[in-house]
Amino acid sequence: MNALAATSRNFKQAAKLLGLDSKLEKSLLIPFREIKVECTIPKDDGTLASYVGFRVQHDNARGPMKGGIRYHHEVDPDEVNALAQLMTWKTAVANIPYGGAKGGIGCSPGDLSISELERLTRVFTQKIHDLIGIHTDVPAPDMGTNSQTMAWILDEYSKFHGYSPAVVTGKPVDLGGSLGRDAATGRGVLFATEALLAEHGKGIAGQRFVIQGFGNVGSWAAQLISEAGGKVIAISDVTGAIKNVNGLDIAKLVKHSAENKGIKGFNGGDAIDPNSLLTEECDVLIPAALGGVINKDNANDIKAKYIIEAANHPTDPEADEILSKKGVLILPDILANSGGVTVSYFEWVQNIQGFMWDEEKVNAELRTYMTRAFGDVKKMCQSHNCDLRMGAFTLGVNRVARATVLRGWEA
């Protein structure tokens, strides 16, 4: 099931549990605005190349729309739509004053030079500058983009509107980026995991973790979990998978991965088949890579007691049903990986105030937000007698629906 179908299905279930008016339900599902622009740039060799850029602005009932921009050859309107909708619910669950958006350009960033990427980013910004803004829509980095991309967008946008650091988040610290933003999603995963384990009288220390994915989120989650006393026994990335039942040395692995562009060949563990990683014996499984990796084919073989969804949409709805029958607790993506957007919100706040925080304050505030969001989700689970995923969706959808009605939505 693709991301759009799964997200819509979860939304509809939540709307049913909440007893939403059918007209309001339909209105919440339809995006506020969909933008499609043509971006033509001169390549380094003098030829012209055209790319299609998208921005889907899903909902602004609770505040400016917020969401990443991805550069990927498979960027399509359906995926961008699903992710924009997911951002609406995610920001509501985290209880930060934003709506949801998502954007992207259909290109292969690896095939473009730095100067080509800069030209493409600037042309895209020229085409959408009057549709984004500090109080309208605030982009951020995503797959294939980074703080440098945000710096270019900020510069291009500022040519039209004056210096506006709050127009994007995930910027370099030198241009008003927030301290702690780099580790934010991984740190949020740690705080969310702590909150879930505490419910069951456990802590991070002594638990065995398996992490799929060793990019920004997976590597930070692994480092922070291991610092907190957790034992990370297996990890995979695109180059391969490794396992050490006594726990991997994460600091050494981070260094190895940076030097060798992946974890393959690391001598502090045994190489295993990456396909078997998800079914390794462990207490907590953290999928932090791609969507749809836990499906009906492997759900029966999963041995973890807890799954923390650090990736977007890693669990198919069919797998969800199988796992809940087995008693596996899943902390859904719209709560588990909301650390990134929460610290993006802190960055935006700092930019608007023109007053920057130290990293300690950023991390302390993030812990408060993640722990509170988990508590709010648990309350919804009790009210509606549902699992954590539906608890999170009912919480998010309910907050957006209430804001929509309060603002004067006419049924």
Q: Which two tokens stand for residue 194?
A: 């702590």
* Residue 411, pLDDT above cutoff 90: no
Q: How far apart are CA 351 and CA 150, in angstroms?
A: 14
Nearest to 370 by CA among 397, 344, 396, 335: 335
Q: Is 257 annotated as a binding residue?
A: no
* Residue 1, pLDDT above cutoff 70: no
Question: What would the mean pLDDT of 301-322 be, rounded to a whole number?
Answer: 91
Residue 327's CB: how many other CB atoms inside 10 A? 7
Q: Which of 36, 102, 127, 378 is catalytic?
A: 102
CA-based R_g, the chain, Å: 21
- 231 has catalytic annotation: no
Q: How far apart are CA 194 and CA 305, in angstroms?
A: 14
pLDDT band at 37 (very low <50, low <70, confident <90, very high): very high
* Residue 274, pLDDT above cutoff 90: no
Give the per-residue pLDDT at 261: 87
pLDDT in tens, 131-177: 999 999 999 998 889 999 999 999 999 999 999 999 999 999 999 99
Give the per-residue pLDDT at 409: 72
Task: Report strand pairing: 284-287 vs 208-212.
Answer: parallel
pLDDT in tens, 327-381: 999 999 999 999 999 999 999 999 999 999 999 999 999 999 999 999 999 999 9
Q: What is the mean pLDDT of the chain?
A: 93
pLDDT in tens, 3-19: 778 888 899 999 999 99
pTM here is 0.93
Question: What would the mean pLDDT of 170-198 be, rounded to a whole number?
Answer: 95
Q: Is 252 annotated as a binding residue?
A: no
pLDDT in tens, 70-120: 999 988 888 888 889 999 999 999 999 999 999 999 999 999 999 999 999
Q: How far apart are CA 45 and CA 106, in angstroms?
A: 20
Q: Is 216 annotated as a binding residue?
A: yes
Which has more confidence, 400 or 318?
A: 400
* Residue 187, pLDDT above cutoff 90: yes
∠ Cα 236 1 192 (to 5°): 50
Secondary structure of the chain as H, E, C letters: CCHHHHHHHHHHHHHHHHCCCHHHHHHHHCCCEEEEEEEEEECCCCCEEEEEEEEEEEECCCCCEEEEEEEECCCCHHHHHHHHHHHHHHHHHCCCCCEEEEEEEECCHHHCCHHHHHHHHHHHHHHHCCCCECCCEEEEECCCCCHHHHHHHHHHHHHHHCCCHHHCCCCCHHHCCCCCCCCHHHHHHHHHHHHHHHHCCCCCCCCEEEEECCCHHHHHHHHHHHHCCCEEEEEEECCEEEECCCCCCHHHHHHHHHHHCCCCCCCCCEEECHHHHHHCCCCEEEECCCCCCECCCCHHHCCCCEEECCCCCCECHHHHHHHHHCCCEEECHHHHCCHHHHHHHHHHHHHHHCCCCCHHHHHHHHHHHHHHHHHHHHHHHHHHCCCHHHHHHHHHHHHHHHHHHHCCCCC
CA distance between the termini of the chain: 32
Contact 83, 2 (CB under 8 A): no
pLDDT band at 410 (very low <50, low <70, confident <90, very high): low
Q: Is 90 annotated as a binding residue?
A: yes
Q: Is 136 annotated as a binding residue?
A: no
Percent of the chain beyond pLDDT 90? 82
